[in-house]
Amino acid sequence: MTTILVSSQKIIDQSADGFGFLLPEKDMSSADLKACEKEFDISISDYLKKHDFTGKLMQTFAVPVMKKNKMYHIICVGLGSKKDTTIENYRRALAHLYRQAAAHKATTLAISMPAASLFDTSIEELGQQTATILDMTAYHFDAFFSKENRQKTELTKIVLCTSSATKTKLEKGVRAGNIIGKAVNKAREWVNTPPSDLTPPDLAKYAKAIAQKNKLKFTQFSEKEIIKKGMGGLAGVSRGSEQDCQLVVLEYKTNKKNADTIAFVGKGITFDSGGLSLKPAVHMETMKEDMSGAAAVIATMEAIAQLKPNVNVIGVTPLAENLPSGKATKPGDIVRFYNGKTAEIKNTDAEGRLVLADALAYVAKHYKPDAILDIATLTGACAYALGPFHTGLMSQHDDLVEIVEESAEHSGDHVWRLPLTDDYKAAIKSDVADICNIGSNKYMAGAVTAAHFLKHFVGDIPWVHLDIAGTAFNVPDRPYYRSGATGVGVRLMTDIAQHWK
Ligand code: BES
Ligand code: MG
Ligand code: ZN
């Protein structure tokens, strides 16, 4: 665990072995840097000059210094020129600074906080982003290593050094940022956990524990109840598995009078083998990630319970395993959903839309929320279309899209809109049921035709669908991630709730 503190004491008075600086291009005027130069009796600026460090974006330079026989590191990371100083580049530079400090074996890092105005943001907001990113960067999935040395936390303490005038605001942001960062990491931990160690009942149990600890209303339906309620999509996907499927609902209620209600619905396939339409081995390798949407929703509900935004929030997760067996749903079968609609199953690997259909129909009927957002590792097509850096967004409700896009920019969970036009509606026609669970080849656009399937279950409620197949797992080149789960969606959904009007 890395502890993040805020201090208005001088940076050189921190008992740290690493001193971190985020420097704008061609601006070495930092008073904290000058204090370090004096303390260690060394001209860092000369050093930087000699090594052509000008503060270009992500340019890095670490200087080892000695005092009374003890070694310290002064680490500088460039923030670039005015056009580079976006909040996303701040997140990356900060994470990079963390990695550099860890690489130089620092255990306590004192960071000289840059001015919030550099990034056109508030002190509180900068504090929130800073804590979230540092928590995310520190996260490491090490539960299954046997050797102790692979389990070590790198930096145990980080002190954010700021002026006494800004301390309170920064602290407030750090508190919120820590809540969000911990939630992101909780989602990552569940996704990274091997699929046999995290079954639908296991994840439901974790959701229940969160509800009890944070005073959220908790509802859970067993497979028997799911069948009885007529949720044939969720039950049908689970039929091949020995594990019971679950539907879990978490509810946060704000104290604000007449507040809106928003619903988050997350796909929770704890393992996706494809079912009888079995996946090839390479595609199956990472399919423990197929509950990333559910993990994000449950973790977000915990963050929301602690941040207490002015909006009611419902978190819904259909949880199941998709496995082949003598009992499994077969291609050619027809299932009936909670809202009475039927679907022909042509491919049992298109199971995400089937479990979401029942969850969406359930939340639409029982809560009539003002907005629904679903989040799902739904299609390989989306991952291929957009790659690992943008979550696919599909919707026909422009007002809601605007809200989600703004929160995406703001939170760092970036989205890219795909065209959910009516042109693609006909792709999921079926000869034998209301709709078919895969799109006709003629229409291609697999991410969009999947969204059209979901559209049959939300009625007239403003709805946004997020496809995180490309962004949930093994995202390269981002210094705040590592291999494995990203926790995508937690920052975005929390931001939507925090800023809901
Ligand atoms: N879980 C997969 C989608 C996926 C692919 C997630 C890659 C993460 C990474 C989903 O259930 C699936 O298998 N979708 C099929 C749909 C097809 C049969 C219409 C796909 O994308 O191939
Ligand atoms: Mg079962
Ligand atoms: Zn599948």
Instruction: Please tell me whether residues 120 and 26 are part of one structural domain.
Output: yes
Ligand 1 nearest atom to the CA of residue 439, by list position:
19
Bridge partners of residue 61, in order along the sequence: 76
Neighbours of ion ligand 3 (CB under 5 A): 272, 349, 351
Q: Which of 158, 183, 208 is the last residue of a domain?
A: 183
| Structure confidence by residue, pLDDT tens digits, 219-248 | 999 999 999 999 999 999 999 999 999 999
Report which of 219, 387, 184, 447 is spatially closest to residue 299, judged by C-alpha positions. 184
* Centre of ligand 2 from the C-alpha of residue 198, in Å: 15
- Give me the long-range contacts of 279-284 (CB less than 8 A, separation at least 24): 279/349, 283/380
Report which of 45, 147, 438 is spatially closest to residue 274, judged by C-alpha positions. 438
Pocket test residue of 323, 329, 349 for ligand 1, highest count of atoms within 8 A of CB: 349
Q: Which of 183, 215, 246 is the last residue of a domain?
A: 183
> Which conformational region is residue 41 in: left (phi greater than 0), alpha (psi within -120 to 50 degrees), or beta?
left
Q: Is the pLDDT of residue 286 over 70?
A: yes
Instruction: Please tell me whether residues 197 and 303 are part of one structural domain.
Output: yes
Instruction: Please tell me whether residues 136 and 22 are part of one structural domain.
Output: yes
The fraction of the chain above a pLDDT of 90, given in percent, is 97
**Res 117: pLDDT:** 97
Identify whether 212 is part of a domain: yes
Active-site amino acid positions: 279, 353
Instruction: Please tell me whether residues 167 and 204 are part of one structural domain.
Output: no
**Res 327: pLDDT:** 98
Q: Which of 183, 215, 230 is the last residue of a domain?
A: 183
Instruction: Please tell me whether residues 128 and 266 are part of one structural domain.
Output: no
Contact 469, 383 (CB under 8 A): yes
Which ligand has the shortest distance to the CA of 353? 1
Residue 255: which pLDDT band, with cuts at 50, 70 and 90?
Answer: very high
Give me the residue label for tokens 């797992």. Answer: 473
Does residue 322 have its Cβ closer than 6 Å to ligand 1? no
- Label the pairing between strands 217-221 and 246-252: antiparallel
Burial of 122 (0-12, 13-18, 19+ CB in 10 A): middle
Instruction: Please tell me whether residues 429 and 378 are part of one structural domain.
Output: yes
**Res 1: pLDDT:** 80
CATH number at residue 36: 3.40.220.10
* Centre of ligand 3 from the C-alpha of residue 151, in Å: 33
Instruction: Please tell me whether residues 241 and 137 are part of one structural domain.
Output: no
For the stretch 216-238, what's the b/e string if a residue is b when 16 or more beta carbons lie within 10 angstroms of its beta carbon? bebebbebeebbeeebbbbbbbb
Q: What share of the chain is helix, strand, coil (3-state, %, to 5)?
A: 40, 20, 40
User: Span 417-441, mean pLDDT?
Assistant: 98
**Res 151: pLDDT:** 66
> Which range marks the domain in which residue 226 is found?
193-498
Pocket test residue of 270, 378, 452 for ligand 1, highest count of atoms within 8 A of CB: 378
Ligand 1 nearest atom to the CA of residue 379, by list position:
21
Identify whether 411 is part of a domain: yes
**Res 196: pLDDT:** 98
**Res 148: pLDDT:** 72
Report which of 368, 395, 392 is spatially closest to residue 454, judged by C-alpha positions. 395
User: Span 120-133, mean pLDDT?
Assistant: 98
User: Span 184-204, mean pLDDT?
Assistant: 98
Report which of 266, 360, 353, 269 is spatially closest to residue 315, judged by C-alpha positions. 266
Does residue 467 have its Cβ closer than 6 Å to ligand 1? no
Does residue 469 have its Cβ closer than 6 Å to ligand 1? yes
Give the chain's domain count. 2
Q: Is the pLDDT of residue 474 over 70?
A: yes
Identify whether 188 is part of a domain: no
Residue 112: which pLDDT band, with cuts at 50, 70 and 90?
Answer: very high
Angstrom distances, CA of residue 157 to CA of 69, 107, 323, 447: 22, 7, 44, 43
